[in-house]
A and B are shown apart, each in its own frame.
Chain A
Amino acid sequence: MTALCAALLLILSGGGGGQARSAEPVTLSVVPPESGLRPGSSARASVLVTVAKGWHINSASPVDSDLVATALACTPPPGLAVAPVRFPPGVRRTFAFSSEPLDVFEGTVPLTLEISAAEGILPGEYAIAIEVSYQACTNEICLPPSTLRATVPLRVTSP
């Protein structure tokens, strides 16, 4: 059983309960606010940008302006506003093809949307359209810049 455990660690350390694997290098998931939003109040939603294993995307502030920065654009309906989203710093990594380190995102990048509702907004169901633009590479290939789109549903309740 001891030998088994040693071997087990060897195998499981290869990944196991890691991130979900996907054919797409980048996926997006949205977590809407926990509860309804009253007029004049604010709430948080989350956007999780997940980069598949072996891939990287440029961070929001890449080392070179010619690299496509990861960015998030929100289009809230009238009466709702989203504060500018702050991205976490990227990871400095030197790749086989780069002599200088690049500033990249790998794994899951959590983003928080600070949503506020105007005083005069009418109660009802709303949706904020979001777009995450990015550009992904591995050590062997680069993909065209791309954009993922999603919506953040939320409910505005009575004051």
Chain B
Amino acid sequence: MKRLFLIALSMIVPSLAALHAQSDTAAFRAALALQNPPARIAALVAFVDKYPESAFRGGAYNALFALYVQERNEKAALEAADRSLATLPPAARMSPYNQYAYMLATSNIGLDTALVYAARAEAMAQGESASALTPIQDTRAYVLFRKGDGAGAEALQRLAVRGHEDDPEYIGHLALYIEANGKHREALATLARAMYLGGGADMKSMFDSWLALAEKDARRRDALRTSVVMNTVHAYVDTATGEGRFAARSAAAAFMASVGVDLPAAERYAAESVRSLRKDSRVEDAVMYRQNLALVEAARGKTRDALGVLESIEDLASPWSSDFWLALGKLYRKAGRPADAVTAYMGGLTVADSPELRDSLASVYTAVHGSTEGLSPALEKFRLSCASFDPGKYAPAAGGSGKTVLAELFTGAECGPCVAADQAFDALAEYFPSSALVMLEYHVHIPGPDPLTTNVSWARYKGYGSRGTPTVVIDGTERITGGGPRFVTRNRFNLYRYTINKYLADKPGVTISLDVARRRDSVSVAARIEEVQGAPRPGNAVLHVALVERSVDYTGGNGITRQAMVVRSLLDGGPGIPLTLPGGMIRVAENVAALDSANSVMLDDPKDQPSWPGRTRNFPGWRTRPPKNDRSNLLVVAWVQDAASGDVLQAVCRDVPTGMSVN
């Protein structure tokens, strides 16, 4: 009986422990999920009472601290901070000390304790890297300032900004402390640096108010403004080198426009930057330089010119860039085009959220429609139009170059931000004929397992030095990283189309004649490559040949149900087949049944493949196994690439004849 009892107990005790573990997790999660602050406080207090040994006790006190600070309940906040800290070994308290000090100072409560916490964090950070010390000194300087010790704050912030001279946030903080110490001109110069470096729009009003403090006389104030701004501009523009010169000029132009100083010079700087743009300039620079030119034009009162510039890049401007859409909306209002302003503000609210954009939209919508009634459905309709739209049809230039551009997309069926890129590629397929654009979509296991991944896809992803998914590479050289939800699809389509159009103007470096035949499961490809007379001969040309499935029905975690232009294999093996120019014939073949078998092996044990990143993690199994290669839906894409520079010289695609299928 006793033995039986012990056996039963040994079975129950671990179960009880497990039950406790589950229940405290659930209770903590439930407490954190409460939206109402008093209810959350009550739930967290009940949690720490009920589970005094829980591993989440520190987290509960941490959450309580934040809530009490929000309520400005100093006593309770400090008690919660103490209890939270007590759950950590002393050596692990640096980050919480810093965070608590900052939060207390922000709410202007418990400043003595905040200073103690900040000093402890700083002492602990002394042995760490400079990058760990800086934000902590930044916090302690802030606490000192809040306690009225401006001199101490300034001295400490000067230490903090060392090595961070290009950080507008830290420089801006230093400017504030200098100003608080009555050194108006130095503060202005420091703030000007922060503004040049891209500090927030709030700095502009601060700059004006400090100018008024520094100089009462209006004429001398203007002279001071000009002197401070131009000294800052020259400090950056005159020392910039290489491509950085144009970035510096563009930034200077935006800064000068924001403070209204020497606008003709600002216009020259901005225009020079725009003129410096070349085919291989990053599209982000092309947008930024033009946006800054528009800011200058607007500051000069050239509303129509400014609008023209912004409208020329509206298709390319990031939906995440609130500044762009605010500027465009304001200009439309100024130009007496409120309906267009509505569209511009909606453009900024497609995926991002900004109170200023929302207020501006409500205001101009009311001006157009008399009230905000109908605004929400109108915004939703606009967002949907960014996800689903008619891409139109490509109109080739007369006497076109004959170039076919290659666009390669690295994507993942589990990748949420890949949705916009995937759908933009679908739109590209509608827009461009295959004589102008050939597309490939390589699947990789990012962020989760994707059964359409192949080892050659992963090798090509790595070969391009890609940072993540989605990544698009146009003609082997221009890389566009990042995507977003479906509402970003139109922006990605525009961005890719803009880049593809640049490369369509190139002359092809070679011609490729492609013959594709199929006998049962064997696909054979004969590619005749010939050099184009007068084209520069690449140093290291290779031929790539991909077997592609036009569409595969597979639904991943990101909700895309039909995967397009899936690269199933590279018939050249991956690195490409070296070419001897001026030309010749190359033959390659693939057996689709053998490919199916190889895929099946890979699907059975993906962790054993080179394409499996972070090769130790668990494999949860596939959502579903994708279908085998559909013999009636295959095509071959061939392209010649300079293995040294990455340039794609020409690309071509052909359907694999369906014929009589014998699987």
Contact = CB atoms under 8 A, between A and B. Distances in A.
A and B, one complex?
yes
B614 A68 contact: yes
Interface stretch (B168-176, B425-433, B566-574): B168-176
A32 B33 CA distance: 33
A110 B483 CA distance: 31
Interface in A77-119: 86, 88-89, 91-92, 95-99, 108, 110, 112
A15 B98 CA distance: 12
A122 interface: no
A34 interface: yes
B150 to A, nearest CB: 10
A31 B614 contact: no
Interface stretch (B324-332, B360-368, B445-453, B655-663): B445-453
Contacts of A32: 91
B485 interface: yes
Interface of chain A, main secondary structure: loop
Given A12-B106, A17-B142, A31-B89, A142 B176 contact: no
Contact of B28 (A89, A139, A142): A89
Contact of B419 (A13, A33, A91, A97): A97
B589 interface: no
A34 B91 contact: yes
Contact of A45 (B89, B132, B202, B558): B89
A145 interface: yes
Given A17-B135, A67-B557, A141-B469, A4 B614 contact: no
Contacts of A17: 98, 101-102, 105, 118, 135-136, 138-140, 142
Interface stretch (B263-271, B408-416, B545-553): B408-416
A125 interface: no
Residue picked from B176, B205, B621, most chain A C-beta under 10 Å: B176
A19 to B, nearest CB: 7
B386 to A, nearest CB: 12
Contacts of A21: 131, 135
A5 B101 CA distance: 18
A96 B557 contact: no
B448 A11 contact: no
Interface string B474-498: 0000000111110100000000000
Contact of B106 (A1, A13, A98): A13
Interface in A10-59: 10-22, 31-34, 44-46, 48, 50
Contact of B56 (A34, A73, A88): A88
Contacts, number: 193
Given A4-B176, A4-B179, A11-B200, A138 B91 contact: no
Nearest to B556: A66
Interface residues of A, number: 62
B157 to A, nearest CB: 11
B614 A46 contact: no
B348 interface: no
Interface string B446-479: 1111000000000000000001111000000000
B32 A143 contact: no
B106 A140 contact: no
B32 A12 contact: no
A158 to B, nearest CB: 23
Nearest to B620: A65
Given A89-B28, A146-B614, A137 B89 contact: no
B310 to A, nearest CB: 22
Given A11-B173, A144-B614, A145-B617, A68 B131 contact: no
A20 B169 CA distance: 13
A69 to B, nearest CB: 8
B417 A133 contact: no
Contacts of A66: 414, 448-449, 557, 620, 623
B419 A142 contact: no
B616 interface: yes
A129 interface: no
B616 A10 contact: no
Nearest to B137: A17
Interface of A: 1, 3-4, 7-22, 31-34, 44-46, 48, 50, 64-68, 71, 73, 86, 88-89, 91-92, 95-99, 108, 110, 112, 131, 133, 135, 137-147
15 contacts: A4-B176, A7-B202, A7-B209, A10-B200, A16-B106, A16-B139, A18-B102, A31-B89, A46-B91, A86-B55, A139-B417, A140-B320, A142-B418, A142-B446, A146-B613
List 7 tightest A-B contacts by C-beta distance, closest first.
Answer: A17-B139, A97-B416, A145-B614, A46-B92, A17-B102, A140-B482, A144-B613
